[in-house]
Amino acid sequence: MAECLFCRIVNKELPSHIVYEDEDILGFRDIAPVAPVHVLFVPKRHIASLSDLTDEDGPLVGKLLQSVANYAATENSLAQGYRVVANTGPAAGQSVAHLHFHVLGGRQMGWPWG
Ligand code: 5GP
Ligand code: ZN
């Protein structure tokens, strides 16, 4: 998807601060962080949202979450915990239509979210 913002980041057409990369997944810092640690983990293949997953995507999503956990284990400031969020659709405030997990931490997080 040439016009998708996160596809352009995946393709290195736009700069980002990368924190994790393998052949299927990219992790990079959010441009407008709301916590001391705020990174986004995305599949390199364009999938618009959780709602667009198919049964065949199960292994990819498992790998995506495992890569989040592996990354979190290397971040000292996430040692006390962190939050993973996937805003899905307009009512949840999803603003970029390429599946992404927010990984948030480095401070005490409030709950419930807004
Ligand atoms: P959503 O609102 O879809 O859940 O999350 C989209 C996230 O992408 C937001 O937190 C926003 O700050 C982030 N974002 C938007 N544009 C860019 C960009 O160009 N680069 C990076 N690194 N993050 C972006
Ligand atoms: Zn995309």
Q: Which ligand is nearest to the CA of 86?
A: 1
95 lines ligand 1 (CB under 6 A): yes
**Among 22, 15, 13, residue whose Cα is nearest residue 41:** 22
How many residues in total does the chain contain?
114
The rounded distance, in Å, linking the Cα atoms of 42 and 44 is 6
Residue 19: band (very low, low, confident or very high) from pLDDT cuts 50, 70, 90: very high
Cβ count near 10 (within 10 Å) = 22
Using DSSP's 3-state secondary structure scheme, residue 91 falls into: helix
Residue 2's pLDDT is 79
Work out the pLDDT band at 1, boundaries 50, 70, 90.
Answer: confident
Range 28-35 average pLDDT? 98
Q: What is the pLDDT of residues 52-108, one digit of tens each?
A: 999 999 999 999 999 999 999 999 999 999 999 999 999 999 999 999 999 999 999
Find the 70 Cα to ligand 2 centroid distance in Å: 23
